Amino acid sequence: MQRIRLRYTKRGRLRFTSHRDFQRAFERALRRAEVPMAYSAGFTPHPKVSYANAAPTGTGSEAEYLEIALTAARDPEQLRVLLDASLPTGLDVVDAVEARTSGLADRLTASVWELRLDGVEPADAERAVAAFNSAPAVEVQRRTKNGVRTFDARSAVASLESATTHGSPADRPTDQPCAILRLVVRHVTPAVRPDDVLSGLRAVADLAPPVPAAVTRLAQGLFDEETGAVTDPLAPDREAEAPEPQPAAAPAAAKAPA
């Protein structure tokens, strides 16, 4: 059995696809590409696909990850091309590596988000960011299936800063004022999402964008406490060398009888 790890995107209007919608689309792509999938046992076998920390519905992403198990070896890059061609534009498979290490999900400890705030002056966003960063705690509320929950959104934020619009993915270009925020948030329990940080900005600085923010996950991976960077979770698989086949031992020469 071979395991392949993939990075895929949710771009444009496809950011509104739910995780279940993507699962269905991906399973159809596996069939179209004739991928030799391994299946689970039982009365209702399913292809062995492991999804890791999917982005919320309505947010774009450049860094979603999953792992598939195959019954026959395939070249990761050729497999990536086939799957990418079998998915709709916007759900793009952009990277593939053979899994040579364990614990992909354990390496997804933080995410880098970009928040596009149309109709917000950059100066107002900078003041709100300063207020958020200086606060020791920022309590926000979120409605869950068990009722309204209150938690601190500040403790999970490793960094929050205002950025310029140049060089940023413009999901919804506009000629109105626009502020761009760059957010690095640790994956903790309860999970702190970009909309929780926006609620925190509203609580500490009364920052309320006139239209919903366009949110895009730029990266996710292992958070480096020393540098504050989020590293590529597939890098260890690329760096791990495939074991070289050992030559077969030569048969011992038969000794002639004395």
Determine, yes or no, domain membership for 257: no
Q: Do residues 151 and 47 share a domain?
A: no
Q: Do residues 214 and 118 share a domain?
A: yes
Closest by alpha carbon to 116, among 161, 176, 153, 170?
170
Helix, strand and coil percent figures for the chain, each rounded to 5 = 25, 30, 45
Q: Do residues 136 and 220 share a domain?
A: yes
Range of the domain at 30: 2-106
pLDDT of residue 241: 66
Residues 179 and 121: beta-carbon distance below 8 Å: yes
Q: Do residues 131 and 68 share a domain?
A: no
Q: Do residues 133 and 57 share a domain?
A: no
pLDDT digit string, tens, across residues 135-157: 999 999 888 778 888 999 999 99
Cα–Cα distance measured from residue 253 to residue 239, given in angstroms and rounded to the nearest whole number: 41
Determine, yes or no, domain membership for 171: yes
Residue 245 has pLDDT above 80, yes or no: no
Cα–Cα distance measured from residue 245 to residue 222, given in angstroms and rounded to the nearest whole number: 32
pLDDT of residue 250: 53
CATH number of 18's domain: 3.30.70.580
Q: Do residues 100 and 192 share a domain?
A: no
Q: Do residues 200 and 159 share a domain?
A: yes
pLDDT digit string, tens, across residues 48-81: 999 999 999 999 999 999 999 999 999 999 999 9
Q: How many domains does the chain have?
A: 2
pLDDT digit string, tens, across residues 174-222: 578 999 999 999 999 889 999 999 999 999 999 999 999 999 999 999 9
Positive/negative CA dihedral, 26, 97, 159, 117: negative
CATH number of 127's domain: 3.30.70
pLDDT digit string, tens, across residues 83-141: 999 999 999 999 999 999 998 999 999 999 999 999 999 999 999 999 999 999 999 98
